[in-house]
Amino acid sequence: MPGRPEMTAFRRRVRLQQARWRDEQGHPIGTQPILPREGKPARPVGSRLPLDYAQETGANFVTPGALDAARHRLAHKEARQVLSAQRVCADLLWSEPFGINLFGDLAHDLASADHAAHTLWPDAPGTVTGLRFAHSPGRLDLDFIGSLVTWDVAFELDAGGGTKGYVALVTPLHERIQRQIAKPVRVARYREVLQRSKAFRPKAFDAVDRTDLVVLCLQHLLLLSTLQHESRAWSWGRFVVVHPTANTDFADAVDRYRELLVDDTTFASMTTGELLDADALPARTVRAVRARFPEGL
């Protein structure tokens, strides 16, 4: 990654560490593409598993609860979803399975999910009623923001008074930040949600568009759009970025993004290490994640 030597080194270390973990566990090596086509070239990739093997064994998931959560999510499609089952199952570094590995043990234990949410975000109202993965409340729905962006993990809350809330998280592992351009056809809606939120400095969207902060902004705007929804179904929300300490791309992006805010009550960040140290997740989850992902959390 030109000009980003720390990020280059981190990504190399994580890829190598996951390749070594796969080999030590006796799992076969995967490929690029994940599902090779007959007669087409494919190359081995140490941080991937063969798709059939990955789907059969669930080897990408660190606990039985995480595996159950992954299989449940893949079996229950959301409207207009764009979710790569290949990457969820076979890519050892993708953010979506990483999020499931972090929070999957909570999916069928709402008491533990509630404990986690209120340990990490003590001001979150009410109680946790559900946990969703690779979730959006409305893809391509202009009652929200009309985008396909999603959150990796979402805690659903009963916020009281007949209303709901979200703690919406993204959980990048080795992903890098890349420059993007907001789709012009939806820019007016993005600006509307941003301005109505009163959370941003003047001309914040102009500062974001065509930069590497676009996707973070849209994921935040998706959360803010729930609070503005005409149904008044949502009364509280927070968008949270959970990133490894050594992922300098996301550490820097979070700092730059926060500078655009005048009210950060709906935005937060933490390192993956801080999450694991917070006594919020089950001990078995923490042990398994640290054993599998020791590099730079």
- Is the pLDDT at 191 greater than 90? The verdict is yes
pLDDT above 90 as % of the chain? 96
Any domain includes 151: yes
pTM for the predicted model, two decimal places: 0.97
- Is the pLDDT at 38 greater than 90? The verdict is no
What pLDDT shows up at residue 295? 85
Identity of the amino acid at 131: L
Strands ordered across the beta sheet of 163-170? 127-135, 151-160, 163-170, 234-243, 267-271
How many CA atoms lie within 13 Å of 277's alpha carbon, on the beta-carbon side?
Answer: 9
- Is the pLDDT at 22 greater than 90? The verdict is yes
Any domain includes 222: yes
Q: Total domain count for the chain?
A: 1
Any domain includes 184: yes
Q: CA 46 to CA 29: how far, in whole Å?
A: 6
What pLDDT shows up at residue 192? 98
- Is the pLDDT at 162 greater than 90? The verdict is yes
How many CA atoms lie within 13 Å of 17's alpha carbon, on the beta-carbon side?
Answer: 17
Residue of 238, 220, 138, 134 lying closest to 182 (CA atoms) = 220
Q: CA 268 to CA 242: how far, in whole Å?
A: 9
| H/E element, 110 | helix 110-120
Which two tokens mark 189? 């809606």
Any domain includes 144: yes
What pLDDT shows up at residue 133? 98
Residue range 28-44: mean pLDDT, rounded: 94
- Yes or no: say if 51 and 89 are a contact pair by the CB < 8 Å rule: yes
Place of tokens 């949600």: 193
Domain that holds residue 213: 5-292
256: left (phi over 0), alpha (psi -120 to 50) or beta: alpha
Any domain includes 135: yes
Any domain includes 78: yes
Any domain includes 297: no
Any domain includes 171: yes
